[in-house]
Amino acid sequence: MKRILTVALTATILLAAADANAAAIFRKVGTAGAQFLKIGVGARAVGMGEAFVAVADDASAIWWNPAGVARITLDGKSYLTLNHSTWAAGLSHEFVGYAFTYHGLPGSYAFSSTILQMDPMAVRTVYAPEGTGENFDAGDFNLAMTWSKNLIDRFAFGFTAKYLHMGLEDENADGFVLDLGTLYFTDYKTIRIGMAIQSLGPSMTFIDDSFPLPTMFKVGAAMDAYSSEDHNLLVAFQFDHPADNAERASLGGEYTLKKFEPNVKLQLRAGYRYNRDEERLTSGFGVEFPTGASSWMRIDYAWSQMDVLDDTHKFSAELRF
């Protein structure tokens, strides 16, 4: 009897704790605005399940972890990336970023911009359910500048300052946010650890309502699980703590065939995102080829599974020069 009572009491406590945790998570959902700040960029990163905060070794590091900008520009080269994503309901998401060093100035720099936009929609009213003949649109964008520096051989720090603008018909909201990131290369094999805090800033006001930003803390690790003259296997894990939702995790990998063709690399990617309502499985591929003696271009594609809405597709191109 005591054992039964103990089990029943333990089960009751655990269920109560689970209900309290679920209620706390539910209270956070929908409490932050500027949700477009959470949309990841770069088909390579998305194809790896968005487990990229510790990878951050291409121009999309501008978004994922600004500390990575210092690492990719160590050789003095510049990087340009262009990204396009298709979303449900006619939405499109665009990102452009340029990372570089400037002689005489310390550290590395980047400029970037993100746009989320929709096709014009008809204005409908109770008396004109088929439309009044007028249209309206909505969209969000940001302009950003990044600074990053290798503080020591194995440790880099960076930050990105962003100006935000959100618009719906004739109403607008403006704000500023800050992203911070670190990247540490350990002495053990090829393991590196990345951390980032995204979307730090004061609340924004839209019409008469104020809302907080979708601040998120990310930490992850990555390593080359296998590497040879012809092959490489990169694996990465990431944990996210959003201010407006439940904690979640991502696992991803990238296999590189270094000699797919002479001087051409083929990359295959896959990932899984845990504790998501919609997006879970991801996959993608990329082809990297030379464009000059010390420059190259990579073309990437990524697919993201959506349970209810249409699957999303992301395309990106990156140029090193």
Query: Which residues, in sequence order, are bridge partners of residue 82?
Result: 96, 317
What is the arithmetic mean of pLDDT over 252-270? 96
Distance CA 69, CA 304 (A): 26
Q: At 31, is the pLDDT very low, low, confident or very high (cuts 50, 70, 90)?
A: low
- pLDDT at residue 28, rounded to an integer: 58
Which pair of structure tokens corresponds to residue 273? 């995102």
Q: Tell me the whole-structure pTM to 2 decimals.
A: 0.85
Q: At 299, is the pLDDT very low, low, confident or very high (cuts 50, 70, 90)?
A: very high
Domains of the chain, by residue range, sit at: 49-244
What is the arithmetic mean of pLDDT over 134-152? 89
Residue 199 buriedness (CB in 10 A; 0-12 / 13-18 / 19+)? buried
Strands 248-261 and 138-152: unpaired
Q: At 244, is the pLDDT very low, low, confident or very high (cuts 50, 70, 90)?
A: confident
Is residue 136's pLDDT more than 50? yes
Nearest to 41 by CA among 94, 102, 89: 94
Is residue 12's pLDDT more than 90? no
Is residue 287's pLDDT more than 60? yes
Is residue 291's pLDDT more than 90? yes
- Residue 21: which residues within 8 A CB-CB, separation 6 or more? none
Please, how many CA atoms are within 13 Å of residue 257, restricted to the half-sphere of its CB? 11
SS (HEC) of the chain: CHHHHHHHHHHHHHHHHHHHHHHHHHHHCCCCCCHHHHCCCCHHHHHCCCCCCCCCCCCCHHHHCCCHHHHHCCCCCCEEEEEEEECHHHCEEEEEEEEEECCCCCCEEEEEEEEEECCCEECCCCCCCCCCCCEECEEEEEEEEEEEEEEECCEEEEEEEEEEEEEECCEEEEEEEEEEEEEEECCCCCCEEEEEEEEECCCEEECCEEECCCCEEEEEEEEEEEECCCEEEEEEEEEEEECCCCCEEEEEEEEEEEEEECCEEEEEEEEEEECCCCCCEEEEEEEEEECCCCCEEEEEEEEECCCCCCCEEEEEEEEEC
Distance CA 187, CA 169 (A): 54
Give me the amino acid identity at 319. Answer: L
- pLDDT at residue 3, rounded to an integer: 43
Assess contact for 159 and 66: CB atoms under 8 A: yes
Is residue 121's pLDDT more than 80? no
Assess contact for 258 and 229: CB atoms under 8 A: yes
- pLDDT at residue 2, rounded to an integer: 45
- pLDDT at residue 29, rounded to an integer: 58
Q: At 26, is the pLDDT very low, low, confident or very high (cuts 50, 70, 90)?
A: very low
Is residue 228's pLDDT more than 90? yes
Distance CA 251, CA 8 (A): 36
Distance CA 293, CA 287 (A): 18
Place of tokens 């439940």: 246
Is residue 13's pLDDT more than 50? no
Is residue 25's pLDDT more than 70? no
Total number of residues shown for the chain: 321
- Mean confidence (pLDDT) of the chain: 87
Nearest to 289 by CA among 312, 321, 266: 266
- pLDDT at residue 227, rounded to an integer: 94
What is the arithmetic mean of pLDDT over 209-231? 93
